[in-house]
């Protein structure tokens, strides 16, 4: 058969299928609409429907890319979002290429330690094949049971796409649990060089009855993930070759990169505020596992290449529930930063956050380098330092307050297992107050020079001041004392903050 017009009652289905296959492979019939039009001469009988099914499956395999395995039965929500269904044959349709598709959800997952694993077991093809089988079969199976499409992108990245925020997040959560081997025996860390397994030691691995290594032979993997979608402005675009692009893809990728940067050695799942709001409105009778295992933490607005995205973090209740104890303090700090309350609230709210973080941990702050409590290496405790910094600020001793605050932030930066997001904000606040202080001191010095007679009423004191000015070390001490005597210190401090309001905005900027 050279043309479908040659079809007759005596033509066999096999002959028609072979002909259509050739046309589809050559790229002459890429869409189902084109297929229907070309085959309009075929009779409307069950045999024709079977031919269409075979031909449509081939079209999907060759031209649907990321969506090549979806159907209205296996992925109904995704199908309804990305496919224009055929009115006659409901099993078929055409993908919405180069069209904006809102209200879908995407996750990007990166597996920590994947490269290290492949390097370690480079001589053990059974172990490499086992990990490949998990990524190619086991993890997609977890997603597909929830109606979520999963594809491997590169070696250690997984893309997920769903039509429901809850189903997508559940897939991410269950994949995280599976890779972490929760509920199963854990193997020792990949960092243990003495336990390296090479090809000749393969027999020592735990194996299935058929001799293939068991999945329990794999180490526990941590992941970083970004979840986005659900908003009309977060659109998905399906390219002509079936790949994905658009703002939802970019946002998920950038959230994943940020999660990886702030938690390179442990699992971190970040999601957009819009996605979080969708999860928050789930009915109380919902039976998703993540509802009992995680909570969420507002991390403020993150700037990605000029685009501001409100972001939430995932809190795993079995190991980091203490973070919820200072969640409200973080929210208060966001509010005061958003309102630009640098003269009054930002300093106090930062100290209150520090205090709550310290009190939420049973062991306090532990120096990551020495393993010792930070309090043990300091004459006064962290909590005492917090109170001391607050006292300096209330007494308008801004120089000492900022110096004390800076030392506190340095302690939080050194702390083991620190909350990277809270620390990121504290570092930004510290840097802004240092900027304010630098301008404040400059203005005080101008006040001293302009009102020396008022500050030093005694002529002898003024003469001594001018004399000491020539001797830098002694002069610096007297200058500090003079700054304290400047009138309206609070007014000067406040005016500097008002004049620098634009430069004091705290924007947490992602690297990617």
Q: Using one digit for the tens of pLDDT, what is the confidence trace for 300-313?
A: 988 887 788 899 99
Taking a C-beta distance cutoff of 8 angstroms, is the pair 172, 107 a contact? yes
**Given this model, what pLDDT does residue 53 score?**
96
Q: Which residue has the tokens 């199963």?
A: 184
**Given this model, what pLDDT does residue 454 score?**
73
pLDDT, tens digit, 9 for 90 and up, residues 354-403: 999 998 887 778 888 888 877 755 657 888 999 999 999 999 999 999 99
CA separation for the pair 126, 201 (Å, rounded): 11
Q: Report which of residues 36 and 469 the model is more confident about.
A: 36
Taking a C-beta distance cutoff of 8 angstroms, is the pair 382, 361 a contact? no
Torsion sign, CA atoms 392, 398, 400, 406: positive
Q: Is 106 left (phi over 0), alpha (psi -120 to 50) or beta?
A: beta
pLDDT, tens digit, 9 for 90 and up, residues 216-231: 788 999 999 999 998 8
Give the mean pLDDT of 164-191.
76
127: helix, coil or strand? helix
CA separation for the pair 415, 409 (Å, rounded): 10
Which letter does DSSP use for residue 242 in this model?
A: S
Give the mean pLDDT of 489-503.
91
**Given this model, what pLDDT does residue 199 score?**
40
HSE, side-chain direction, 13 A CA sphere, residue 394: 8
Taking a C-beta distance cutoff of 8 angstroms, is the pair 1, 7 a contact? yes
pLDDT band at 492 (very low <50, low <70, confident <90, very high): very high
pLDDT score of 197 more than 50: no
**Given this model, what pLDDT does residue 184 score?**
44
pLDDT score of 215 more than 80: no
Q: Could you tell me the fold of the domain covering 105-288? A: Alpha-Beta Plaits (3.30.70)
CA separation for the pair 203, 211 (Å, rounded): 9
pLDDT score of 204 more than 50: no
Q: Which residue has the tokens 């290496």?
A: 377
Which letter does DSSP use for residue 108 in this model?
A: E
CA separation for the pair 292, 312 (Å, rounded): 18
**Given this model, what pLDDT does residue 6 score?**
83
Which letter does DSSP use for residue 191 in this model?
A: T
Q: Which residue has the tokens 């180069």?
A: 98
**Given this model, what pLDDT does residue 195 score?**
44
**Given this model, what pLDDT does residue 187 score?**
36
Calculate what percentage of the chain has a pLDDT beyond 70.
88
Shortest CA distance to 107 belongs to which of 175, 177, 179, 155? 175
Give the mean pLDDT of 454-477.
66
CA 200 to chain centre: 40
126: helix, coil or strand? helix
Taking a C-beta distance cutoff of 8 angstroms, is the pair 51, 11 a contact? no
Number of Cβ within 10 Å of residue 337's Cβ equals: 24
**Given this model, what pLDDT does residue 469 score?**
62
Taking a C-beta distance cutoff of 8 angstroms, is the pair 288, 396 a contact? no
How far is residue 224 from each of residues 188, 260, 266, 336, measured CA to CA in Å? 21, 5, 8, 30
**Given this model, what pLDDT does residue 379 score?**
56
CA separation for the pair 262, 295 (Å, rounded): 19
Number of Cβ within 10 Å of residue 399's Cβ equals: 17
- Mean pLDDT is highest, among 33-37, 155-159, 260-264, 482-486, for 33-37
**Out of 300-309, 349-358, 422-431, 470-479, which region has the weakest mean confidence (pLDDT)?**
470-479
The values of phi and psi at residue 303, to 5°, are: -95, 120
Give the mean pLDDT of 67-84.
95
pLDDT band at 64 (very low <50, low <70, confident <90, very high): very high
CA separation for the pair 216, 247 (Å, rounded): 38
Cα angle value 56/60/64 (rounded, 5°): 145
Q: Can you read off the two tokens belonging to residue 204?
A: 């020592």
CA separation for the pair 323, 41 (Å, rounded): 67
CA separation for the pair 340, 335 (Å, rounded): 9
**Given this model, what pLDDT does residue 209 score?**
55
Torsion sign, CA atoms 456, 460, 465, 466: positive
Indicate the average pLDDT of the chain: 86
**Given this model, what pLDDT does residue 311 score?**
94
pLDDT, tens digit, 9 for 90 and up, residues 337-348: 999 999 989 999
In degrees to the nearest 10, what's the CA dihedral of 368, 369, 370, 374? -50
124: helix, coil or strand? coil
pTM across the whole model: 0.84
12: helix, coil or strand? coil
Interior/surface letters 93-115, b for 16+ CB within 10 angstroms, e for the rest: bbbbbeeebbbbbbbbbbbbbbe
pLDDT score of 191 more than 50: no
**Out of 280-289, 328-337, 363-372, 491-500, which region has the weakest mean confidence (pLDDT)?**
363-372
CATH 3.30.70.1230 domain position(s) in the chain: 105-288
pLDDT band at 211 (very low <50, low <70, confident <90, very high): low
Q: 511: Cβ–Cβ under 8 A, 6 or more apart, which residues?
A: 257, 258, 261
pLDDT score of 430 more than 80: yes
Pairing of strands 149-153, 307-316: unpaired
CA 239 to chain centre: 25
How far is residue 302 from each of residues 67, 259, 311, 312, 323, measured CA to CA in Å? 31, 12, 7, 10, 20
Give the mean pLDDT of 257-278.
94
CA 45 to chain centre: 52
**Given this model, what pLDDT does residue 445 score?**
82
Give the mean pLDDT of 85-103.
90
153: helix, coil or strand? strand
CA separation for the pair 34, 19 (Å, rounded): 15
**Given this model, what pLDDT does residue 203 score?**
40
pLDDT band at 56 (very low <50, low <70, confident <90, very high): very high
CA separation for the pair 336, 507 (Å, rounded): 14
- As a residue count, the chain comes to 512
């Amino acid at each position: 058969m050279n043309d479908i017009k040659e079809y007759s009652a005596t033509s066999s289905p096999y002959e028609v299928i072979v002909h259509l296959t050739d046309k589809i492979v050559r790229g002459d019939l890429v869409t189902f609409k084109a297929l229907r039009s070309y085959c309009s001469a075929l009779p409307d009988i069950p045999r024709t429907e079977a031919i269409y099914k075979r031909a449509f499956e081939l079209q999907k395999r060759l031209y649907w890319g990321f969506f090549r395995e979806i159907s209205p039965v296996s992925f109904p929500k995704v199908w309804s979002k990305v496919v224009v269904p055929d009115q006659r044959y409901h099993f078929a349709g055409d993908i919405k290429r180069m069209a904006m598709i809102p209200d879908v959800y995407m996750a990007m997952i990166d597996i920590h330690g994947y490269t290290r694993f492949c390097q370690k077991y480079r001589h053990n093809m059974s172990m490499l094949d086992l990990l490949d089988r998990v990524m190619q079969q086991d993890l997609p199976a977890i997603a597909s049971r929830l109606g979520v499409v999963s594809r491997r992108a590169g070696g250690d990245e997984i893309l997920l796409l769903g039509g429901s925020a809850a189903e997508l997040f559940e897939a991410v959560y269950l994949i995280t649990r599976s890779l972490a081997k929760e509920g199963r025996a854990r193997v020792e860390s990949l960092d243990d060089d003495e336990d390296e397994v090479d090809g000749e030691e393969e027999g020592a691995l735990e194996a299935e009855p058929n001799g293939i290594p068991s999945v329990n032979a794999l180490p526990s993997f941590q992941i970083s993930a970004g979840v986005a979608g659900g908003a009309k402005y977060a659109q998905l675009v399906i390219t002509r070759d079936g790949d994905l692009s658009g703002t939802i893809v970019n946002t998920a990728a950038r959230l994943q990169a940020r999660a990886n940067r702030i938690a390179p050695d442990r699992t971190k799942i970040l999601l957009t505020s819009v996605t979080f709001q969708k999860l928050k409105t789930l009915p109380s009778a919902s039976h998703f596992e993540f509802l009992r295992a995680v909570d969420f933490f507002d991390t403020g607005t993150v700037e990605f290449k000029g685009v501001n995205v409100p972001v939430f973090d995932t809190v795993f209740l079995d190991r980091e529930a203490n973070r919820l104890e200072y969640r409200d303090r973080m929210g208060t700090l966001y509010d005061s930063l958003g309102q630009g309350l640098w003269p009054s609230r930002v300093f106090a709210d930062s100290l209150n956050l520090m205090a709550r973080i310290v009190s939420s941990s049973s062991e306090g702050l532990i120096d990551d380098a020495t393993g010792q409590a930070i309090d043990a290496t300091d004459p006064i405790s962290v909590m005492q330092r917090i109170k001391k910094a607050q006292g300096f600020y209330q007494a308008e001793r801004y120089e000492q307050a900022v110096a004390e605050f800076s030392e506190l932030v340095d302690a939080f930066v050194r702390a083991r297992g620190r909350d990277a997001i809270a620390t990121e904000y504290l570092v930004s606040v510290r840097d802004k107050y240092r900027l304010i202080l630098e301008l404040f001191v400059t203005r005080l010095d101008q006040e001293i020079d302009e009102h020396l007679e008022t500050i030093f009423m005694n002529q002898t004191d003024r003469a001594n001041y001018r004399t000491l000015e020539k001797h830098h070390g002694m002069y610096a001490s007297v200058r500090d004392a003079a700054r304290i005597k400047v009138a309206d210190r609070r007014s000067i401090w406040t005016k500097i903050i008002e004049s620098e309001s634009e430069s004091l905005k705290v924007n947490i900027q992602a690297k990617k």
